[in-house]
Amino acid sequence: MKLEDSGAPAIELVEVTKTFGKAQALAGVDLAVGRGEIYGFIGPNGAGKTTTLRILATLIRPTQGQARICGLDCAKEAPEARRRLGYLPDGAPAAPDFTVAELLDFFAAAYGIVGAERRRVVGDVLELVDLAGRRDDLVASLSLGMRQRLGLARVLVHDPAVLLLDEPGTGLDPRARIEIREVLRELRSLGKTILVSSHILGELGELCTSIGILEQGRVVFSGSLREALARVPAGAIEVRIAGGEVGRARALPHLHGDPAVAAVREEADEDLLVVDLAEGASAAAVARTLVGAGLDLVVLRPRPVDLEDAFLALTEGTLG
């Protein structure tokens, strides 16, 4: 079965449950990821993200339910499913005494790629992850960001349709995370479907087309990024007062006493305040309070929502 010949989602889980002894890691997970998506998988440690990825990677079997890659059952059709997927676990070890090219050559050989085709594949994936100039370097000499890009190259040698990436940004500096993000965008442009788990919510918000939120082994939300952000309650504004920290200090008593204000938070920025409006209140009422107090109002604007806001809104009441 080929992905392009099938109407099945690239990734699918149907009522997947997984128990380890008496501990339940997953409790009836339903999930579908369409072809060509970058799907962000979010959840705290222990939520079941890695267990889900390991089931999809055919490394463990679900206790109940079905997991499918490109319509192929990950338990019953594991060899075929493996040809369609590339799995990069968190903290995946690399052979430090291999050169970059030797490592990729080894994995390409493991997938039965031979001769000139193998040399071409190794060269192509090195170009894709921008490591062509390091092909003769020892893996041990690479930076953490380079080793993570090499890990991506390793799981690409057999040209999988689906990539499963477990915390690919862990431990990377900001520049390395940007580099990884650009590689993933390029892979999506080539038609790959990518499921990426991460706790760096801002990173996923800039990268993903859709997200899923896992809490205590259950999916509490799955949908587009726009749908997730739309679930954040409206009503927060950002306020900046002239005079920096002094101006902010003068504004606080007036805001705390204003019935239009539900709460006020001070940002790290020395003169920015985040004001949560009371139900039914307007930003204009807050502006009148501040101007009436003789304060110079420099900025008053709606507070933009991000993936972290969506995560908090969508998981409210599910932790415990």
The predicted pLDDT at position 5 comes to 43
Q: At what angle do helices 174-189 and 144-156 cross, to 10 degrees?
A: 20
Q: How many residues does the chain have?
A: 320
Strand 272-277 to 261-266 pairing? antiparallel
Tokens coding 161: 């349709």
Could you give the domains of the chain?
Answer: 3-96+155-230 (3.40.50.300), 236-304 (3.30.70)
| pLDDT, tens only, 29-56 | 999 999 999 999 998 888 899 999 999 9
The C-alpha angle with vertex 306 and arms to 304 and 311, in degrees rounded to 5, equals: 135
The predicted pLDDT at position 232 comes to 73
The predicted pLDDT at position 312 comes to 76
pTM of the model as a whole? 0.80
Tokens coding 215: 């809490």
Q: How many whole angstroms separate alpha carbon 53 and alpha carbon 75?
A: 13
The predicted pLDDT at position 317 comes to 45
Where does 49-187 show beta strands of DSSP type E?
A: 64-69, 72-73, 85-88, 162-166
The predicted pLDDT at position 170 comes to 80
* Residue ranges, the chain, pLDDT below 70: 1-6, 93, 233-234, 269-270, 316-320
77, 78, 84, 86: CA torsion to nearest 10: 160
Strand 193-197 to 38-42 pairing? parallel
The predicted pLDDT at position 265 comes to 86
Task: Sheet with 210-215: list strands edge to edge.
Answer: 85-88, 162-166, 193-197, 38-42, 210-215, 218-224
